[in-house]
Structure formats: C-alpha cells, structure tokens
C-alpha cells in the first residue's frame, strides 16, 4: 500500500510536475506568442509608420524639388528680368539717341533745304546777271542788234562801243527827236556823222561816205522790220504775226492728227483725230529771241569748259509716225537748228492767257506747278500729251478726259535747247534743277528727258508719253502759237 501510495504520489507529483512544466511551457509559449504578436504589431505599426514616413519623405522630397525648381525658376526669372531691364534701358537710350539723331538730321535737312533754296536763288540770279553781262559785253543795250558798214562790197560790223552809240542814236531818230537825223559817233579815235535818213556814214576828216545798216539778228523768215523790232515794248500785237503758209498749216495738222497715240481708238488720245486748226501765229519777240541765243552761247561755253559731248535726244518714241521729226526744219523760221546744243522743235500745251504771258515774257519754270520730274517747264513731241493742258476750264493730267468740252485749245511750238540731257529712270518730284552729272564737279545736266517705259515711283509704274523738262527760263523760245478745236 505504502509503495503504491508512494508510487501514486510519485506519479501524481510527476504528473503535477509535468503539468507545471507544460503550464510553464504554455505560459512561456503564450508569452512568446504575445511577444511575437506585440512584436508583429509593433513591426506592422513600424512598417506602417515607416511607409507613412517614407510617403511623407517622398512628399517632402517632391516639395523640396518643387521649391528648388521654383527657386531656380525665380532666379532665372530674376536674371531674365534684370537682362530685360538692361535691354529696355539700352533700347530707351538708343531710342533717345535715335530721336536726337532724327531731330538733328531733320534740322540738318531743313538747313540743307534752306541752303539749297538760297543756292538755287543765287544760281538763278547769277545766271541772270551773267546773261545780262554777256548781253552788255556783246551788244550793249541793243538786245542783239548789230550795226554794219559796207566796204568793198561786203558788210563789216562796227565795234561794240560804236554799235551801242549808234543804237541809242537810231532809237532817238525813230522817236523823231529833233536833231537826231544826223548824229556824230566817235569810235577808235575817229569821228563819223551818221545819216539815218539815207543810212550813210561820213568820215569827218576824209569826207568819205559808206552805206550803213542795222541787223536785228533774228530768224530769216521774220517779217517785222528791224526798226519795229528795236522799238518793241510789251504790246502783244507787235509779237503775233499771222501765218498763212500752207506747208506750216499742213505740218501742224499732221502733228495734231498723227503724233503719239492719236491713232489708237481705245485711248482718249484718239480725240486728236478731229482737231481743227483755227489760227497759226509766228512769234517775233526780239528781246526773247536774243535771251534765248545768249543762253545757247552760255551752254556752248560750259560744254567746252567741262569737255561735255552732247548726245542728241530721240523724238517720237511714243508714236508710230515720225511726224515731229520730219517737221523740225519746217518750224525753224529759217534759222537752222543747232546740233551742238541739241535744239529741238517741241510742243507745249497751255491756255490762251498763259500763252500770252509766254509770248511776252517767255517760259518761266518758277511759275510751273510741281510735276513728276521736277518744277520745270515740260514739253512733248506728241500733240495728244500737250492737249492735256490746253483747256481754259480743265487743266492738269486729267484734262484730256474732258475732250468733249468744246473750247479753244492753245498749242505752242517751241524751240528748245536740250543740251546735255539726263534720261530719267525714276520719279523726281522735288527736283528744282536737272540732276548733277556723275562727276559733280562738272555741274548739272542741261535738261531731263523721259522715255516711255518703266519708271520707278510712277503712279502707273510706267511712262506713257515722251517728255522733256528744262529748268532755265532762257532755254526755250515760243516760235508758233496754234489755236485749234477738237
């Protein structure tokens, strides 16, 4: 029993011990499990926290990157702004300098324009004074007339001094001043008595007589007697001489009907086909004629000084018939056209009142309106071009559109010295004189010639009619005044 009890007790103790060990093991396992669970939860929490922290770090990193980018951008913007400010300041300074330069340039241009006006005025006055001095040196106040005496069957000219004295004495005789029929003239230490009634001179010492005469120095076909030419004033009737020569009338009729584009039925110029001549007058103005001849002599001297070779300008480039070229000699009044200064017979359309002013005082570029090629006097070789300016009521480039307006038209056939001419290739509206030659030391050209064809700056980009422009009032003489009707 005791052994059994002891064994039982031992078993019970062993069992208790095993249970205690198992319990301890279970507690340990539970504790471990709890620790593991806590550790797992902590790890999970830690991982979550770590992920959260990582996400926050990522966001912070992104934000930081954005801040860095923004800072860089701000820095770049600030640098760009600084650069732009600097450029703007430079531009403002440049603009101010440009404005100042423009102001200076405008002031300089205005000054140059004023100086140019002064220079041109001085040049005109100089040319006029030069012409007057030349007139005095050649023939005193005789306006080109010369006195001659007969010797051995030929006529010799008196000295300029004697010519001047005889001219004044002869004017006194023509005015019937008492005692003027006989006048003593001293020249070269020799005294002679002039008898203007018999047109003789008598040498006071030898008593020898010779015939004398006065030459007005005008074209051969003029009909006004020298004594009347020498007394010409401003009476228009003394300048107009009616012309009945059928050759001249026919030449004018041909020019009116066939020059330029009169043949073209699609153009306004075609109205010239119906032109009817009403009257033709030759202009015999001795004062104007000699002013013109003096200008030709001046041109010749200038050409000789500068060694200028004159190339003749062409005629009739805007037409199909050579009417104007063929009529040149018909209108020269017996005075051969001078090739060395390229004299041409050209056309100038105007009103009747303007024609009277031209007949009395000559062409005057100073009263001309501004044209495409400068403020000069314009001529043409086509009647349809000149016709544009012939109506009293309609003047200017559009006047030819009024061709149905029945009014007297006035055409001047003029003798024009083109000299060394410049061929225009562009519009020259503001010009007041011909262009300078390529070597400016040689001065300006004598005239401007405009050929049909492309012209830079022209409103139509093309010139239709041929034109000629002069800028010196002495460079043309009005030979004939024609009145007609279309």
**Rounded to an integer, what distance in angstroms lies between the CA atom of residue 211 and that of residue 111?**
61
pTM above 0.85, yes or no: no
Quick one: how far is CA 425 from the chain centroid? 10
Burial bucket for residue 167 (CB in 10 Å: 0-12, 13-18, 19+): buried
- In the prediction, which pLDDT does 185 show? 87
- In the prediction, which pLDDT does 138 show? 40
236-485: CATH topology is Phosphoenolpyruvate Carboxykinase; domain 3 (3.90.228)
Do residues 370 and 238 touch, judged by C-beta distance below 8 A? no
Q: Which residues, other chains included, contact 52 with Cβ-Cβ below 8 Å and sequence gap of 6+?
A: none
Place 341 in a pLDDT band, splitting at 50, 70 and 90: very high
> Mean of the pLDDT values across residues 254-264?
92
**Rounded to an integer, what distance in angstroms lies between the CA atom of residue 142 and that of residue 164?**
6
In 3D space, the residue among 389, 393, 402 whose CA is nearest the CA of residue 465 turns out to be 389
> Mean of the pLDDT values across residues 366-387?
87
Out of 89-98, 162-171, 436-445, pick the least confident: 89-98
Q: Measure Cα distances from 130 to 126, 164, 441, 475 in Å.
A: 6, 19, 20, 14
The angle at the Cα of 355, spanning 262 to 423, to the nearest 5 degrees, equals: 55
Q: In what order do the strands lie in the sheet with 447-450?
A: 240-242, 276-283, 476-485, 409-417, 343-350, 377-380, 467-470, 447-450, 421-423
The tens digit of pLDDT for each residue in 426-446 reads 988 888 889 999 888 888 999
Most confident residue range from 40-44, 281-285, 317-321: 281-285
- In the prediction, which pLDDT does 300 show? 97
The tens digit of pLDDT for each residue in 355-373 reads 999 999 999 877 666 789 9
> Mean of the pLDDT values across residues 86-101?
79
Q: Measure Cα distances from 365 to 48, 378, 471 in Å.
A: 106, 9, 6
pLDDT for residue 15 is more than 80: no
pLDDT for residue 125 is more than 70: no
- In the prediction, which pLDDT does 407 show? 78
Beta bridge partners of 256: none
> Mean of the pLDDT values across residues 174-196?
86
pLDDT for residue 222 is more than 80: yes
**Rounded to an integer, what distance in angstroms lies between the CA atom of residue 110 and that of residue 123?**
19
Burial bucket for residue 321 (CB in 10 Å: 0-12, 13-18, 19+): middle
pLDDT for residue 122 is more than 80: no
Tokens of 458: 């022209």
Q: At what angle do helices 2-139 and 160-174 cross, to 10 degrees?
A: 70
- In the prediction, which pLDDT does 124 show? 45
- In the prediction, which pLDDT does 448 show? 95
- In the prediction, which pLDDT does 140 show? 41
Place 199 in a pLDDT band, splitting at 50, 70 and 90: very high
Do residues 470 and 365 touch, judged by C-beta distance below 8 A? yes
> Mean of the pLDDT values across residues 172-195?
86
> Mean of the pLDDT values across residues 81-103?
78
Do residues 378 and 467 touch, judged by C-beta distance below 8 A? yes
- In the prediction, which pLDDT does 392 show? 62
Listed by start position, the domains of the chain span 51-140, 146-215, 236-485
Place 32 in a pLDDT band, splitting at 50, 70 and 90: confident
- In the prediction, which pLDDT does 367 show? 65
Q: Which CATH architecture has domain 146-215?
A: 2-Layer Sandwich (3.30)
pLDDT for residue 112 is more than 80: no
- In the prediction, which pLDDT does 243 show? 97
- In the prediction, which pLDDT does 176 show? 86
46 vs 465: which has the higher pLDDT:
465
Its sign, for the CA torsion 299, 304, 305, 310, is positive
Place 480 in a pLDDT band, splitting at 50, 70 and 90: very high
In this chain, the answer to whether the domains covering 146-215 and 236-485 adopt an identical fold is no
- In the prediction, which pLDDT does 467 show? 96
- In the prediction, which pLDDT does 1 show? 57
Tokens of 415: 């003798």
Q: Which residues, other chains included, contact 219 with Cβ-Cβ below 8 Å and sequence gap of 6+?
A: 289, 332, 333, 334, 335
Most confident residue range from 127-141, 255-269, 279-293: 279-293
- In the prediction, which pLDDT does 133 show? 46
- In the prediction, which pLDDT does 409 show? 95
**Rounded to an integer, what distance in angstroms lies between the CA atom of residue 234 and that of residue 216?**
18
- In the prediction, which pLDDT does 396 show? 46
Q: Please identify which residue in the block is written with the tokens 């003239």.
A: 185
**Rounded to an integer, what distance in angstroms lies between the CA atom of residue 107 and that of residue 286?**
47
Beta strands in 62-169 (DSSP E): 146-151, 154-157
Of all residues in the chain, the percent with pLDDT exceeding 70 is 88
For β-strands 146-151 and 209-215, DSSP reports them as antiparallel
Of all residues in the chain, the percent with pLDDT exceeding 90 is 46
- In the prediction, which pLDDT does 401 show? 42
pLDDT for residue 226 is more than 80: yes
Place 115 in a pLDDT band, splitting at 50, 70 and 90: low
- In the prediction, which pLDDT does 135 show? 45
In 3D space, the residue among 251, 270, 239 whose CA is nearest the CA of residue 486 turns out to be 270
Burial bucket for residue 165 (CB in 10 Å: 0-12, 13-18, 19+): buried
């Amino acid at each position: 029993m005791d052994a059994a009890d002891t064994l039982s007790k031992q078993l019970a103790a062993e069992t208790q011990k095993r249970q205690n060990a198992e319990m301890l093991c279970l507690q340990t396992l539970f504790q471990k499990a709890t620790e593991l669970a806590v550790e797992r939860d902590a790890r999970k929490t830690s991982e979550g926290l770590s992920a959260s922290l990582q996400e926050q770090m990522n966001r912070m990193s992104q934000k930081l990157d954005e801040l860095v980018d923004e800072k860089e951008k701000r820095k770049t913007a600030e640098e760009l702004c600084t650069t732009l400010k600097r450029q703007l300041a430079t531009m403002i300074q440049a603009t101010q300098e440009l404005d100042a330069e423009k102001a200076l340039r405008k002031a300089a241009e205005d000054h140059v324009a004023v100086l140019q006006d002064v220079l041109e005025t001085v040049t005109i006055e100089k040319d006029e004074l030069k012409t007057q001095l030349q007139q005095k040196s050649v023939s005193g106040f005789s306006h080109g007339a010369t006195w001659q005496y007969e010797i051995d069957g030929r006529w010799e000219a008196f000295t300029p001094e004697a010519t001047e004295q005889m001219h004044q004495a002869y004017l006194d005789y023509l005015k019937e001043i008492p005692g003027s029929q006989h006048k003593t003239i001293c020249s070269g230490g020799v005294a002679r008595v002039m008898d203007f009634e018999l047109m003789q001179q008598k040498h006071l010492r030898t008593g020898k007589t010779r015939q004398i005469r006065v030459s007005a120095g005008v074209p051969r076909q003029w009909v006004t007697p020298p004594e009347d030419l020498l007394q010409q004033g401003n009476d228009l009737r003394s300048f107009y001489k009616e012309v009945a020569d059928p050759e001249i009338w026919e030449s004018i009729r041909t020019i009116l009907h066939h020059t330029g584009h009169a043949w073209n039925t699609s153009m306004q110029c075609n109205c010239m086909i119906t032109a009817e001549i009403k009257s033709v007058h030759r202009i015999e103005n001795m004062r104007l004629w000699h002013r013109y001849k003096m200008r030709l002599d001046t041109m010749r001297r200038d050409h000789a000084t500068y060694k200028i070779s004159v190339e003749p300008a062409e005629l009739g480039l805007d037409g199909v018939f050579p009417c104007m070229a063929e009529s040149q000699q018909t209108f020269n009044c017996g005075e051969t056209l001078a090739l060395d200064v390229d004299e041409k017979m050209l056309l100038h359309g105007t009103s009747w009142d303007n024609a009277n002013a031209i007949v009395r005082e000559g062409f005057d570029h100073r009263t001309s309106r501004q044209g495409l090629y400068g403020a000069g006097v314009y001529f043409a070789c086509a009647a349809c071009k000149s016709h544009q300016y012939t109506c009293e009521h309609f003047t200017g480039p559009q006047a030819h559109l009024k061709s149905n307006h029945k009014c007297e038209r006035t055409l001047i056939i003029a003798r024009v010295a083109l000299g060394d001419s410049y061929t225009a290739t562009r519009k020259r509206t503001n010009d007041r004189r011909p262009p300078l030659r390529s070597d400016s030391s040689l001065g300006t050209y004598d005239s401007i010639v405009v050929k049909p064809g492309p012209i830079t700056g022209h409103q139509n980009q093309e010139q239709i009619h041929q034109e000629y422009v002069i800028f010196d009032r002495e460079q043309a003489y009005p030979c004939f005044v024609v009145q007609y009707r279309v």
